[in-house]
Amino acid sequence: MRHYTHIKDLGVAGQQKLLKLAADYKRAEPGPILKNKVLGMLFFNPSLRTRTSFEVAMMKLGGQAVALEEGSGVWKLETEDGAPMNGDKAEHVREAAAVLSRYVDVLGVRAFSRGMGQADDDSDRVINSFRQHAHVPMVSLESAREHPCQGLADMLTIRESFGQTQGVNVVLSWAPHVKPLPKAVPNSVLLHAAAAGCSITVAHPPGFELGGPVREEAAQYAAQSGARIRYTHDQREALNGAHVVYAKAWGPEPRQSEDGIVASPALRGWMPTLKHFEACTDDAIFLHCLPVRRDVEVGSDVLDSERSRVIDEAENRMWVQMAALAWLFERA
């Protein structure tokens, strides 16, 4: 049985296959290839793009989607094995995953980081416990460690802009925010760009390093794909010759208070504006997973410019998810 909860479920060759399939579907929709199939989606956190794009993807493929929000019309779930269930959590993931598997043909879960540090994020406890106890293919709607559908959509958008991903200079640039956001998106940008053969520079202030296991996994993909990866604290130098500027806020490690370093005036210069593009290539594009806080995380001048591909990027979520769903069912 296939799952798509982490990029390692695909690998370098699998990602290329899904990107091609997604591009084919975008050119010509495949029709009702998932007729009578049902996707169940369980959200522990809110969503605009993920929920809608998966619902529409299933509709376009002839199937249906059911969305559940944990704790809001659905029982609060205990996801830890052996935890005493004498609090507000009325159901355990063991029963919930098994029961949902009797109703749906594929199960998606969104469960963000609990903010308990890198090792906890890397263990990806919630999505992995569903993966362990569900009896149907699982797809990640974003977990503590990764957002693999976002990573795929990002690579499709780069491919559309430059005809390929191999050798494209991608700068993943840390951005300011009012709170320390999780690292799932920057982790996936790095992992998917490494698997896609990009030349990646990760630029961030000191103290905002991505986790060691993710960097090691990215290096393994780079060894297979020919990608190059470097890390720097110098945003200005990183942007020299960039084809893609991918801005994203994430929190420091170890985690600090909500009103701590992420809101520091000293770091406001990291917010991309059109001025930051002066050292990039003439055809450089801007990416961000959305949602974005205008003029906090990214300048409005960038978001409103022709460089911005953020709406195409959001649309591409739907096409890559159609490809991922078709791939999951190939073997189901």
47 binding ligand CP? (CB under 6 A): yes
Please work out the total of residues on this chain that contact ligand CP, with binding judged by CB under 6 A.
9
**Of 49, 192, 204, 248, which one interacts with ligand CP (CB under 6 A)?**
49
Residue 29 neighbours by CB distance under 10 Å: 13
Question: Which helix (H) or strand (E) element contains residue 138?
Answer: strand 138-140
48 binding ligand CP? (CB under 6 A): yes
Give the pair of three-digit tokens for residue 223: 């060894």
Q: How far is the CB of 110 from ligand CP (least distance, A)?
A: 8
56 binding ligand CP? (CB under 6 A): no
Q: Are 100 and 131 in contact (CB under 8 A)?
A: no
Nearer to ligand CP, 223 or 311 (CB): 311
Please give the Cα distance from 127 to 141 (Å, whole number): 9
Q: How far is the CB of 150 from ligand CP (least distance, A)?
A: 5
Q: How far is the CB of 241 from ligand CP (least distance, A)?
A: 27
Nearer to ligand CP, 104 or 149 (CB): 149
Q: How far is the CB of 227 from ligand CP (least distance, A)?
A: 23
DSSP single-letter state for residue 41? E
Nearer to ligand CP, 48 or 90 (CB): 48
User: In this chain, which stretch among 42-50, 132-140, 228-236, 299-307 interacts with ligand CP, using CB under 6 A?
Assistant: 42-50
Please tell me whether residue 165 adopts helix, strand or coil conformation: coil
Please tell me whether residue 53 adopts helix, strand or coil conformation: helix
Give the pair of three-digit tokens for residue 8: 């390692």
Q: How far is the CB of 313 from ligand CP (least distance, A)?
A: 9
User: In this chain, which stretch among 7-15, 33-41, 260-268, 283-291 interacts with ligand CP, using CB under 6 A?
Assistant: 283-291
Say which amino acid occupies 237: E
Give the pair of three-digit tokens for residue 87: 């609090």
Q: How far is the CB of 291 from ligand CP (least distance, A)?
A: 6
Say which amino acid occupies 222: A
Q: Which residue has the tokens 């200079």?
A: 169
| Pairing mode of beta strands 169-174, 199-203 | parallel
**Of 66, 261, 267, 290, which one interacts with ligand CP (CB under 6 A)?**
290
**Of 138, 289, 303, 310, which one interacts with ligand CP (CB under 6 A)?**
289
**Alpha carbon of 39 to those of 2, 108, 329: distances in Å?**
14, 7, 11
4 phi/psi in degrees, rounded to 5: -135, 80
150 binding ligand CP? (CB under 6 A): yes
Q: How far is the CB of 290 from ligand CP (least distance, A)?
A: 5
Q: Which residues bind ligand CP (CB under 6 A)?
A: 47-50, 142, 150, 289-291
